[in-house]
Amino acid sequence: MAGVWSHGTESPTSDWLTASLASVALFHVGWLLVARRLGAHAVSPSRDLAYSVARTMESWATTWGLAGLLAVTTIAPDGFQVWLALLAGAAMLCALRFATSFSQVGRLAGRARAIVIGSCPSARALTSTSDAEGAFHLCGFVPFASEDPKQMPHLKQLGALQDLSSLIRAHKVDVALVSPSDDAVTREVHQVMDTCEALGIQTQYFPSFLDVADMRVGITWSASRPGLNVQKVGKTSFEAACKRFIDVVGAAAGIVVLTPVLLACALIVKLNSRGPILYSQTRVGRLGRTFRCLKFRTMHVGAQEMQELLRSESIQDGPAFKLDSDPRVTRVGKVLRKFSLDELPQLFNVLKGDMSLVGPRPPMPSEVEKYAWWQRRRISIKPGLTCIWQVYGRNRVSFKRWVEMDLFYIDNWSLWLDIKLILKTVRVVFSGTGM
C-alpha cells in the first residue's frame, strides 16, 4: 500500500488513486494465488520459521514477475512506486501471518479435534511430537483388530473399531488420523474410510510404507482413479531457476571467453587425424532421457566398435569403461583429455538444457542398463560438466564410490556447493589429471 501515497502530489486525482488501488489489489490477489500454488501456508511459522519465511518470500518474488509486470504495463499510473508497494505488502502479510501463528489465539483457532485410528510405531511417531499436539486436539485412539494397544501409551484408548461411528459422535471429532500397521487388514481400513465419509469428517491417511525420509508424496490420477505420487524432494522452483540462470550465463560466458581455445582445438583435431572435428554420442540425461553429447573427437574413426574387445583391460570397475593407455586415442586426443579440453563443446549442451554446469557425468545407455537399483538415482537430475567425482575422485576411485559421490551431491545440493565445485574444477583441469 505504500506506493499509493508516494505520487508526490498533495491531492492525487481520483483516477490516479483508483488505478493505484487496483495495482495494489492485483499484487495481493496474485500473491495469494502464487502462495497457494507454492505451498507458502503449508507449514505454520510457529513450527518451521525458516521454511515459512522462504516460501513466503519466494511466492512474493514470483508475484513480482507476474502481477507486477501486468500492473506496471497496464493499469499503474505515473508515479506509482512498484517497489514500495511490493516491499510494504510483503512486510505486512508476513507480520500478519506471524502474529496469528505465534499468538495463543492463532495456535488454538486451527486445532481440530482428532481421533487416531491405529496402534503401531508409525501411529505413535505421528502423534507423539509437539507438532501433532500443536496442530490437533488428540481425543484418543482406536486400534485395528490385529494391533497391540500398548503401542500408544501416550494416548487414551477410546474403544474398539466396531464402535468407531459412536465414538466419533461422542467426542465431536473433526478429523480422523488413520495410520494402520503392516498387519492391519485392508478391509478394516476401507471400513474406517467409509465410516468417516458417512459422518462427513475429514480423513488423513498415513500408511506405514510412506515412512520414508526426504520424499514428497502427492496425489496423482490415472483415468478416474486416485493414487499416491512418491518422489525425491526436489529443490524449490526458485532455486532451480537460479541454477538454470547460472548454467546459461556461465555457459554463454565460457563460450565467449574460450572461443580462441575452441577454435584452436578444432583446428588441431582436424589437422591431426582423419575424421570429423566433433564427436556426438548418445548419453543418458535426467530421468533416463537420452541426448546427443558433444565432444572434440579424441579417437580414431571406428573406435567405438572396438570398446567391447578392450573391455577386459578396463581399469574402471563396474559398467564404466576406462583404459590406462587407450590405443584408440590419437596423439592430440591425449593432450585434450589430459586437460579436459575435449569436453568444452558440452557448454552448448548446457545452453540447450540437456546438461548443467555441475552434476553427475552423463553415462552411456549401455552403462545405465547395468546399474544396480540404487545407482539409478544418479540419473534423477541433469548431468553436468563437473561434479564431486571430477574434483575429489577423478580416476582414483571405484565405480561404487563414484556413484556414492554423485548421490551425496544430489542429496546435499545447494547453489554454494555448485559454485565451490566450479572453482575447484578449474584448479583440477590445470593440474592435467584427465585420461
Domain ranges of the chain: 2-106, 111-211, 237-431
Least confidently predicted of 49-53, 172-176, 332-336? 49-53
Structure confidence at residue 7 (pLDDT): 42
* Percent of the chain's residues with pLDDT above 70: 66
Tell which wins on pLDDT, 99 or 152.
152
Query: Please, what is the average pLDDT of the chain?
Result: 79
Q: Which of 375, 381, 343, 341 is nearest to 360 (CA)?
A: 381
Residues 356 and 254: their CA atoms lie apart, in Å, by 13
Structure confidence at residue 432 (pLDDT): 63
Across 264-413, the runs of DSSP E, i.e. the strands, are 278-284, 290-296, 356-358, 384-386
pLDDT band at 291 (very low <50, low <70, confident <90, very high): very high
Least confidently predicted of 103-117, 142-156, 261-275? 103-117
Q: Which of 348, 353, 326 is nearest to 337 (CA)?
A: 326
List Cα–Cα distances, 348 to 208, 238, 428, in angstroms: 46, 24, 22
Across 157-257, the runs of DSSP E, i.e. the strands, are 175-178, 202-205, 215-222, 225-232
Residues 429 and 36: their CA atoms lie apart, in Å, by 45
Residues 132 and 363: their CA atoms lie apart, in Å, by 44
Residues 239 and 218: their CA atoms lie apart, in Å, by 21
Does residue 137 carry a pLDDT above 70? yes
Residues 160-183, mean pLDDT to the nearest whole number: 91
Backbone angles phi, psi at 137, to 5 degrees: -95, 105
Residue 117 CA, chain-centre distance (Å), reads 32
Residues 311-336, mean pLDDT to the nearest whole number: 73
Least confidently predicted of 84-88, 202-206, 384-388? 84-88
Tell which wins on pLDDT, 426 or 307.
426
Does residue 243 carry a pLDDT above 70? yes
Residue 163 CB neighbour total at 10 angstroms: 12
Residue written as grid cell 500473491: 31
Structure confidence at residue 355 (pLDDT): 96
**Residues 274 and 350 sit within 8 Å (Cβ to Cβ):** no
Residues 106-112, mean pLDDT to the nearest whole number: 54
Could you tell me the fold of the domain covering 111-211? Rossmann fold (3.40.50)
**Residues 20 and 80 sit within 8 Å (Cβ to Cβ):** yes
**Residues 31 and 76 sit within 8 Å (Cβ to Cβ):** no
DSSP bridge partners of 202: 175
pTM over 0.75: no
pLDDT one-digit tens code per residue, 361-386: 999 998 898 888 888 889 989 999 99
Which secondary structure element, helix H or strand E, spans residue 139, and what is its range? strand 136-142
Residue written as grid cell 583441469: 429
**Residues 226 and 220 sit within 8 Å (Cβ to Cβ):** yes
pLDDT one-digit tens code per residue, 174-202: 899 999 988 888 899 999 999 998 888 88
Which secondary structure element, helix H or strand E, spans residue 116, and what is its range? strand 112-117
The three grid cell numbers given for residue 241, joined into one nine-digit string: 531457476
Tell which wins on pLDDT, 182 or 219.
182
Backbone angles phi, psi at 248, to 5 degrees: -65, -50
Q: Are strands 215-222 and 225-232 parallel, antiparallel or unpaired?
A: antiparallel
pLDDT band at 392 (very low <50, low <70, confident <90, very high): confident
Interaxial angle between packed helices 82-102 and 49-63, expressed in degrees from 0 to 180 and rounded to the nearest 10 = 150
| Alpha-carbon dihedral 29, 30, 36, 38, rounded to 10 degrees | -160
Structure confidence at residue 209 (pLDDT): 74
Does residue 6 carry a pLDDT above 90? no
Least confidently predicted of 46-55, 267-276, 279-288, 390-399? 46-55
Does residue 11 carry a pLDDT above 70? no
Task: Give residue 100's identity as a one-letter amino acid code.
Answer: T
The three grid cell numbers given for residue 263, joined into one nine-digit string: 577454435
